[in-house]
Structures are given as structure tokens and as C-alpha cells.
Structure 1
């Protein structure tokens, strides 16, 4: 099978989850704001409500920015899909890798903020191990997507040079 660029529907399979992740990042930004000001308030819609948010301000900042950055990275990898050439199976692996990396990394940040864990090593409590596994899977798929992007760019360069 001849390598091809990602089609518009294939790129949309990355863009739709990226948009959902971006929206989640915005919602997490509200939680970060509430943690920073010490209460829930959206004047004039919601009066100030005292609520003890789980996690720290720094953890919610990381989670907010992490989700937004991962969503933007997914959008960039989707856009790059129109300029690379991959076989059918490699295109599917690329799509899945980009989505798993973005969401896995972001969910790792979220688990960390909710449960006060970092996931830097596998071990108790179980939420720390979950956090570790989310980051590990995201790291592995990040290498896969980067390698496929490189391979696809090389194939595109050779196809246009011929």
C-alpha cells in the first residue's frame, strides 16, 4: 500500500478528542482559580461558596496548563498529518498514539491534583501507581508518535524529491 497523508477524517479523529481535552483544560482552569482564591465564586451567577478543593494550587496549575498544552500538541500533530506520508496501519497507530499521549498525560496530571500524588515511581498508594502508569503509557506513545512523524516526514521528503 502506498503511503499517504492523513485524510481530513483521520485528522478529525485527533482533533475531536483534542477539542474535548482543551475544554476540560478550561474547566480545570476554573478549579485552579477557585483553589487560588480559596472559594468557589462566579459572581453574579454563583455566590461565594466555601469549599475545600482537593490538591494544591500548584497541582491545579500544572493540571490546567498540562491539559491545554497536550490539547495544543494534539492539534499540532493533527495538522502535521497533512504533511507526512504513512501507510494505512501506521496512520492508525499515529492517530491512537497522539490521542493516548495527550489524554494519558493530562489524566495523569488530574489524578495527581485530585489525590496529591506525583506518579514518579510505581508504588503505594494505588492512586500514585495509577498516576505512574498514565504517565508511563503517555511517554511510550509519545515516542511512537514522534518516530512516526519523523518517518512520515522522511517519506514525504523522498516522495517530493522523486
Structure 2
């Protein structure tokens, strides 16, 4: 990607870079919808019954709050990145900022998606670096996602302040 055009003057991220990032966002949306489907099954006491199909008993973890998070978290993160991509034309990223933004956004998206999914199986919910492997994976991916969110938000905030000052 070294020879790639990252930004286009007056347009923000190039169509190719913005498009690649939006692909990640839509994949996260799909994963969030899957999490919502599992949450729905949990709310229906492990039953999937969509007429005219027969009734199915599907055991899912009894962690309704964490299943809700696995639904809402990826959706919210993907919408956040989508908003930043669409606002990139007003934020006037440099090439270096665009590169940092791109990779940090991907880390944020995937880190949160993996963290929310593994937290369902982690007794500590990924909030502390202790316990079994699902908790450690959840904690680690949430940790890197926070770094990604901080970088993307910091770049956007810096450029928004610059734009506001004229």
C-alpha cells in the first residue's frame, strides 16, 4: 500500500482507502447483526421459532447483557468509523494521518468485535487481565481497541480543531 493514494485534496480519504475501511465497517455491522440474532434467541429462552419453520431449541450462553453488547458494540463502532470516514473530507488528513487513522480504525473495529464476542464466555468479562483464555483474549483485544479508538479520535479531534480555527 506504499504507492497507494491515501488522501485526495478537498475530498478526504481516497475512494479506495475509504472503501476498504467501509468494507470493514459493513463486516462489523454483519457481525453485530449475528450477535443480535443470538441475543434474540437468548431472550426467547433458547428458542428459535420463525413461522412457517418448525421450532428449534438452540442453547446459547445465559449472558443476556453480554450478548446485547456483542450486538450493539460492533454496530456502534462501525457507525463511528463510518462517520469519521464520511467526515474525512472536512478533516483534511495528511497522508501520514490517513495511514494512522486507517490502521487504528481497523484495530478498533476488530479488537472490539473479538472482545465483545469472547467476553460472553469470560467470567471476568474481559475487564481485568486475569483468568482463563477467553478472558485474556477479551481483555487484550479490548485493550488494543481502546488504543485504536484513541488514535482515530485524536487525529479527528486535532484536525477538527484546526478546521474550526480556520
Shorter chain as normaliser: what TM range?
0.7 to 0.9
What TM-score does the superposition give when structure 1 sets the normalisation length?
0.86
User: Partners of 1:45 and 1:12 in 2: how far apart?
Assistant: 39
The answer to whether the 8 A contact 1:70-1:103 is kept is: no
User: Partners of 1:15 and 1:56 in 2: how far apart?
Assistant: 30
User: Partners of 1:18 and 1:145 in 2: how far apart?
Assistant: 14
- Gap regions ≥5 residues in structure 2: 1-6
What TM-score does the superposition give when structure 2 sets the normalisation length?
0.84
The RMSD of aligned alpha carbons is 2.1
The aligned residue for residue 3 of structure 2 is none
The aligned residue for residue 125 of structure 2 is 118
| Aligned pairs (5 A) from 1:1-162 | 4=9, 5-44=12-51, 46-156=53-163, 161=166
Q: Residues 13 and 152 of structure 1: is their aligned pair in 2 closer, same or farther, counting only changes over 3 Å?
A: farther
Shift of 1:28: 1.2
Aligned residue pairs total 158
Please identify runs of 4+ aligned residues in structure 1 that moved more than 4 A. Answer: 154-158
- Gap regions ≥5 residues in structure 1: none
User: Partners of 2:52 and 2:135 in 1: how far apart?
Assistant: 36
RCO greater where, 1 or 2, for CA within 8 Å and sep 6 or more?
Answer: 1
Is 143-152 or 17-26 further displaced after alignment? 143-152
